[in-house]
Chains A and B, each alone.
Chain A
């Protein structure tokens, strides 16, 4: 009985969620529901609380008010049904791990006890390496791989526990366009094939625009949800920010111009060259 209840419950449910640090409100009365196989993009300027939302879902940060449920259960630390893909930080050369070991940590890296090799684990690692197209460099030291190759491995690592939801924290940052496409397609394929829900934090929606079902847009303690077409419009974002915002669509790209307090070059969905193109 409880199994069917869990299966019909949304994968992620936030009810009346608020997060405050002292006087500062990151978001307030946030209601959000993500269904199986849904792709949610979380947009917003730096400091709008995107990463904090992920930490709250991971059970690492307690909400000020409200609650978050994953598959119908309250969040808890170390939930094996959530996969997590971090920002790409280059792994230094001289790290004593090969590509297959990085994926292996996703399988049993949390376990204490003697690390004895097993055939079952090896086969699982080989399958995951194949799934993310990393078989050709399976035995190379991770420190010798490119940022894009390392990020493919992190996707594989996050899939090791067969998660019902993937949390992605700017996983495409500092990757070139080819690798951005490759990595986002791996994530998209996973949710199409296995129904894994995706919560994808990003400052630039363009690389994932064709995949996104819904957008959560965070700004100055307020938020909006809807499809990209509903949210990414001049009048909608102008009302959200209470200051004139212009959304320009050109050549399949979305460019948001005029977002305040964005700490320089990282606009929510804009590029510097995009801004120039509109001038």
Chain B
């Protein structure tokens, strides 16, 4: 009976606890709203991230977004602003210097450790509490205050509206850039707009789920949806559903316990992907036998 031993029943209680659930729920309403909106935006933009082969670039952008947020924390500026600035610089650099996938991967690989290092430097110099610091890397939505949550929702809504407006030309450009250009799609402008939207989405995600885990809301839901459908209507709908279920479901499960929400979100999102992979394999083999 030593206090140090690892007790499985205690672990279960720490993982899932629903005491005073109603009261806690009321406190985090805004966080849940922000997570739901991010689930929608991440699910939609993820469809294009997959088509344009940009998953690694997303990870690179999120590390520079982390650096921007950490710098903002150090200099006492609004953290959301710092995160957005870092994201946009990274997104435009990667978009501008990496038109081809190979160039993009190398420029991302170069930027990513630099951003992470810069962020760690800023955090090390920051005299405040360490709890805030790790939040930027692994998620801190419950500690984000209301005005900032409002900013996150507004940014997400803006991304959503612009993404819907450029949906068709962006699909065309992602499929066949040459043909789209011949048809009058302004490919260059569209690529820049897309990188800005991606940068904004990543900046919001960093606040909610943390820089290291952004991919679980921006890439995993779309990757899962693409496993089970090829319809241009079903894929975005499924991807959005998976994103919202992961983000909101993760918060709801995590609320009662004392653990951070990120592992709940990443696990749900991963499990959805696994299920879709298995279901997708069945779909493919049926077509082959047909």
Contact = CB atoms under 8 A, between A and B. Distances in A.
B183 A110 contact: yes
B172 A105 contact: yes
A96 B231 CA distance: 6
Contacts of B179: 84, 86, 154, 157-158
Interface string B135-174: 0000000000000000000000000000011111101100
Nearest to B234: A96
Contacts of B227: 94
A111 B181 CA distance: 12
A136 B227 CA distance: 23
A58 interface: yes
B132 interface: no
Interface in A139-183: 141-144, 154, 157-158, 161, 167
Interface residues of A, number: 37
A142 B164 CA distance: 23
Contact of A58 (B51, B168, B182, B235): B182
Contacts of B231: 96, 98
A114 B169 CA distance: 11
Contacts of B176: 86, 89
B5 to A, nearest CB: 47
Contacts of B181: 58, 60, 77-78
Contact of A96 (B168, B183, B229): B229
B165 A112 contact: yes
Given A96-B230, A97-B230, A154-B179, A110 B172 contact: yes
Interface residues of B, number: 31
Contacts of A89: 176
B47 A96 contact: yes
Residue of B167, B176, B287 contacting most chain A CB atoms (<10 Å): B176
Contacts of A58: 181-182
Contacts of A111: 168-169
B243 to A, nearest CB: 15
Contacts of B51: 95-96
A119 B245 CA distance: 33
A155 B225 CA distance: 29
Contacts of B167: 114-115
A143 B284 CA distance: 12
A196 to B, nearest CB: 16
Interface string A79-123: 110101010010100111110011001101111111100000000
Nearest to B53: A92
A102 B231 CA distance: 11
B183 A109 contact: yes
Contact of A78 (B166, B183, B225, B236): B183
A89 B175 CA distance: 11
